[in-house]
Amino acid sequence: MQAIIKNFTQNPKNDILSGLTVALALVPEAVAFAFVAGIDPLVGLYGAFMMGLVTSIFGGRPGMISGATGAMAVVMVHLIQKGNEVGLALDQPIENLGLQWLFVTLPIVGVIQMSAGLFKLGKFVRLIPHPVMMGFVNGLAIVIFMSQLGMFRENIDGVWTYMQGEKLYIMVGLVALTMAIMYFLPKITKVVPAALTAILVVAAITILSGLDVSTVGSFIREGGGTGLKGSLPHLQLQVLDIIPTMSGHWGMVISTAFLLAAVGLIESLMTLNLVDEITETRGSGNRECLAQGGANLLNGLFGGMGGCAMIGQSIINVNSGGRGRLSGIVAAVALLLFILFAAPLIEQIPIAALVGVMFMVVIGTFAWSSFRILNKIPVSDAIVLIAVSAITVWKDLAIAVIAGVIMSALVFAWQSATRIRARKRMKSDGTKVYEIWGPLFFGSIQAFNSKFDPRNDPNQVEIDFLESRVSDHSGMEAISNLVDKYEEFGKKVKLVHLSPECKTLLMKGHPGLEPYIESNIDDPRYHVVTDMVDQEV
């Protein structure tokens, strides 16, 4: 019971205040990502609410924030565009058909993600190497920074252009003021969250002075929206009528669902790993998979755009003191209340204040230590770190992480392949012994084969695997082929000190090898240890 209460909230005041801060920062982010996907801003806001609420209650760790994200929005946009094209091609065009297709796809995404949790695939995030993790946070910091640059644009006669002159100077000044408050206020007092204080101060200055600045409301309207005012999410029953329009396009729908599920899980699990490090606690990747899947399923049923964990908002939350599940719940509920009741007030918040908060997130997210260690770590790790950062910016997070893991795995395989050795000695009876040292797997079989000379070896050969382990099917095939070569030259070979697992696999895959496997030879190190024990006694 104490653990449940501790997870729900350790400090109610901090959780509530940090949750309100996050809710304010969620508004422009959700709206912006909805525009990226080409859908109504309210769909993005509903998505942020449902994702945030479900994952806060049932997710893999307290304090982590989920919502509508850019990584998933850029995948959704192709499905939505295709759906709209099909809608226009019908004799009776269906308005927003692409959005309805998204609502059909999201439950599939949810089922895939929940399956990952049920099969306990979330634990594999622990296998992500540290250079990939550093590259991920650096690349994501750059992506967050670049996304905020779009906030410095304004819509003039239907054309988006970057601010100039006085308007730009005011925007930059307000951003700098926000960042200064967030930097210096914690040095004076930590009673109130610096981010929330900065937003309120800058909003008060702009409202009281009557400055003509870009606000949340103007940002939504200039992007084609009508404002924040909305209603409670409702069940999308009309989606059932849309399914026939997807005939012939299910391949695209299913592939998009798998891609969305993969992107969402990778970003969520990487964010979980990062928050674990910041808070020095440990979350559950499998539980997070289940929660993310359930939230995306509900999004499809109740008209949200879906999403995943948000690293920027998660860092705002934990840095503001939000360490319990209450903080995420407050953020989600507050976001819904903004939509229902506080739209006029929230629409007056200057975009500059929210940009300043996100810039401070960028500074806090970027692993500045990577500059110091680049010349101290192996060249391969440095290349992986830089490559993951670049691919995150160039493509997207999922591709970057997968590429980084593959690069790290190939480097490890190459390094391991060079470690296999074979010490050779002769027994008094003329038997030649090969003492193998190092891992035998797909990367080292060529080096392994080069150690032997079946043509010129004596008639009795013994291959000792005491210091080696056979790691995969390629290694077992290499052993089988080597035995066959010795047999071709009429020579006898014995395989000794194979691990029990390798013996089982070899005899299962190659039953004919059983006569060559010596099963009653003791580990010589055992006798060394017992002799030492006897001497001590």
For tokens 């304004």, what's the residue?
Answer: 154
- pLDDT on residue 519: 64
Q: Express each pLDDT in 114-166 by its tens digit.
A: 999 999 988 777 778 889 888 988 987 888 888 888 889 887 777 888 899 99
Looking at the structure, give the CATH architecture of the domain made up of residues 421-536: 2-Layer Sandwich (3.30)
Least confident of 1-15, 17-31, 258-272, 457-471: 1-15
Phi-psi map region of 497: left, alpha, beta (phi>0 left; psi -120 to 50 alpha): left
**In 3D, which of 457, 491, 467, 464 has the Cα closest to residue 479?**
464
**What's the mean per-residue pLDDT of the chain?**
87
Task: Report whether pLDDT(388) > 70.
Answer: yes
Per-domain boundaries in the chain = 2-367, 421-536
pLDDT above 90 covers a percentage of the chain that reads 44
Q: Express each pLDDT in 185-208 by its tens digit.
A: 989 987 777 888 899 999 999 999
How many whole angstroms separate alpha carbon 179 and alpha carbon 181? 5
For tokens 């910091």, what's the residue?
Answer: 141
Least confident of 309-313, 325-329, 398-402, 449-453: 398-402
What pairs with residue 308 in β-bridges?
67
Q: Express each pLDDT in 235-258 by its tens digit.
A: 887 777 888 888 889 999 999 999
Q: How far is CA 115 from CA 103, 251, 258, 287, 510, in A?
A: 19, 20, 12, 11, 35
Least confident of 211-225, 273-287, 316-330: 211-225
Segment 385-390 shows an average pLDDT of: 93
Least confident of 108-112, 390-394, 481-485: 390-394
- pLDDT on residue 523: 57
Task: Report whether pLDDT(27) > 80.
Answer: yes
Residue type, position 495, single letter: L
- DSSP-assigned states of every residue in 458-513: -SEEEEEEEEEEE-SHHHHHHHHHHHHHHHHTT-EEEEES--HHHHHHHHHH-GGG
- pLDDT on residue 536: 44
What letter would DSSP give residue 412? Answer: H
- pTM for the whole structure: 0.75
Q: Express each pLDDT in 72-102 by its tens digit.
A: 887 888 899 899 999 888 877 887 899 999 9
**Up-side HSE of residue 522: CA atoms within 13 Å toward CB?**
7
Segment 388-397 shows an average pLDDT of: 84
Task: Report whether pLDDT(531) > 50.
Answer: no
- pLDDT on residue 537: 40
